[in-house]
Chain A
Amino acid sequence: MSIFRKWVLAIGLFVAIVVDGVCSFYLHQFMDYGSFGAASLILPISVMLIGLFDDTNENEIWLALGTGIVADIYFYGFIGVYAVFLPLSCWICQKIARFLPEIFWARLIVVLLGTTIFVAYSWLIFNMIGIATTSIHGLLMSLLVNQGWTAGFFVCLYWIWGNLAQDYPFLIDLNAYRV
């Protein structure tokens, strides 16, 4: 059971990849406003929340890298979107968490900023390699739509990842420290 406890966070992130894809499929028609749309950002929000809740465990940066590679290969077939953003955001969130007030609103602001950077970064990569060609106007409108959906996803995920990251840190068995 101790091995299972160490890997709970990894299993949770695997489920987050799956749920991200399924939600994107079912919610896609509701996330579009005219020719602009929001992305399903469950995975980036989850990794940022892990970084914000558990700022001491460096293993989670490697976990974010692994999750990013799997997500990139599954969703796009190439590596460079999630595999770069997830470990970087986890590392930055862990650094920020050391001086950030441990309250809901402060974390929400960080996540809103993070998802904005993620959407802009993925737009840059897609345009650079020619996977998608979208104007800056399209990007800016999508960013606005994304803010609303990010806040919604954040509310749904906050307590889930808060509990998981604090009770089951990656590759650490907290029971070993309890008497």
Chain B
Amino acid sequence: MKKFLQNKKLLSTFIVIIVIFAVLGGSVSLRNKRNAPLLVQSLGNDIVALGSRIIDVPVGFISGGLNNAHEILNAQDENNHLKRQITNLGQTKVRNASLEKENRQLKAALNLKDTLSGYILINASVISRAPDTWSDLLTINKGSSSGIKKNMAVMCGGGVIGRIVEANAASSKVELITTTDESANRFSVQADVANGKTVHGIITVTANNQLAFTQVVDGRKLKAGTRVYTSGMGGNSPKGLLIGTVTQTTRDSFGLSDQIRIKPAGDISDPSVVTVIERQVAN
């Protein structure tokens, strides 16, 4: 012990390692517990985000040009597909308008103001991504000044892609739904079974980075193609946001519970413009 204390290099290394672990543990704890980041942290993040926005303009211009060229090549196929879809669109729009009107009238009759399915949309652009392959974190160009708060759901391409983990004044971090973060809040979801019943569960990620609908009772009743959407029960997201569709139903490795694989509806691989969902009903 005396030799250890007299060896200044060894002692310094030991102290540095302890300091590193203390800073790491402290900052991770702050990240998970605080609803809003520290002022210094928020300011620093917003300054770098401003730089990202500037750099993003020319890079996005080049990338957009390349994407446009690719889309022009696929225009004929896309046109044929849309023509097939458009025949049903008029009827669906009329039906939706009629149902919305009926829904408003029923809510008024029951004196209901906010329900689990009420929400407001906030549109934002993705400006950067965490450089590693594992953490699945994006940075968007809207923050608490636009009404964004921690744990709000984020959508892109017609489905949920993640949730807000940090809201700075002018930028926010989004953790993708495919993250393997053990401390991440999981989406509480539901799906309608063929016999009219509804099954509830949560969304988790399997070992090979695929989405799964877990903690489900009677999960085997779910057929491939069944839509899975948020139930609004978790307290953070509204009801009715599409997560994805069922692709396969299996038992887990212990054979104890059902594991239902889900194909995400949202554009997780290339989300350039996202929509943050602000839940209307009080938590």
Contact = CB atoms under 8 A, between A and B. Distances in A.
Interface string B125-150: 01111111111111100000000000
B52 A78 contact: no
Given A22-B56, A130-B181, A31 B135 contact: no
Interface in B11-66: 20, 23-25, 27-28, 30-31, 37, 41, 44-45, 48-49, 51-52, 54-56, 59-60, 63
A123 B129 contact: no
Contacts of A37: 133
A93 interface: no
A77 B128 CA distance: 14
B59 A78 contact: no
Contacts of A123: 134
Nearest to B128: A21
A26 interface: yes
A139 B48 CA distance: 29
Interface in B217-269: 269
A129 B60 CA distance: 34
Given A73-B45, A74-B44, A132-B181, A22 B52 contact: yes
Contacts of B135: 75-76, 126, 131-132
A29 B269 contact: yes
Contacts of A126: 132, 134-135
B217 to A, nearest CB: 26
B130 A76 contact: yes
A78 B180 CA distance: 17
A18 B57 CA distance: 12
A126 B183 CA distance: 12
Contact of A133 (B45, B131, B137, B182): B182
B31 A80 contact: no
Q: Among the interface residues B20, B131, B139, which one has the most CB atoms of the partner chain A within 10 A?
A: B131
A61 B48 CA distance: 21
Given A29-B270, A78-B24, A21 B59 contact: no
Interface residues of B, number: 49
Contact of B51 (A18, A38, A129, A135): A18
Interface stretch (A39-47, A51-59, A101-109): A39-47
Interface string A77-95: 1111001100000000000
A177 to B, nearest CB: 32
A37 B135 CA distance: 12
Contacts of A41: 131
Contacts, number: 133
Given A35-B209, A74-B48, A80-B27, A22 B131 contact: no
B163 to A, nearest CB: 14
Contacts of B117: none
A134 interface: yes
B109 interface: no
Contacts of A19: 55
B48 A17 contact: yes
Nearest to A123: B134
A125 interface: yes
A38 B31 CA distance: 26
Given A130-B183, A133-B182, A24 B20 contact: no
A42 B130 CA distance: 12
A18 B55 contact: yes
Given A28-B270, A131-B28, A132-B135, 11 more contacts: A18-B128, A21-B128, A22-B127, A24-B130, A32-B133, A39-B133, A41-B131, A74-B44, A74-B48, A75-B137, A130-B181
- 5 closest A-B pairs (Cβ-Cβ)? A21-B128, A80-B24, A130-B182, A37-B133, A132-B134
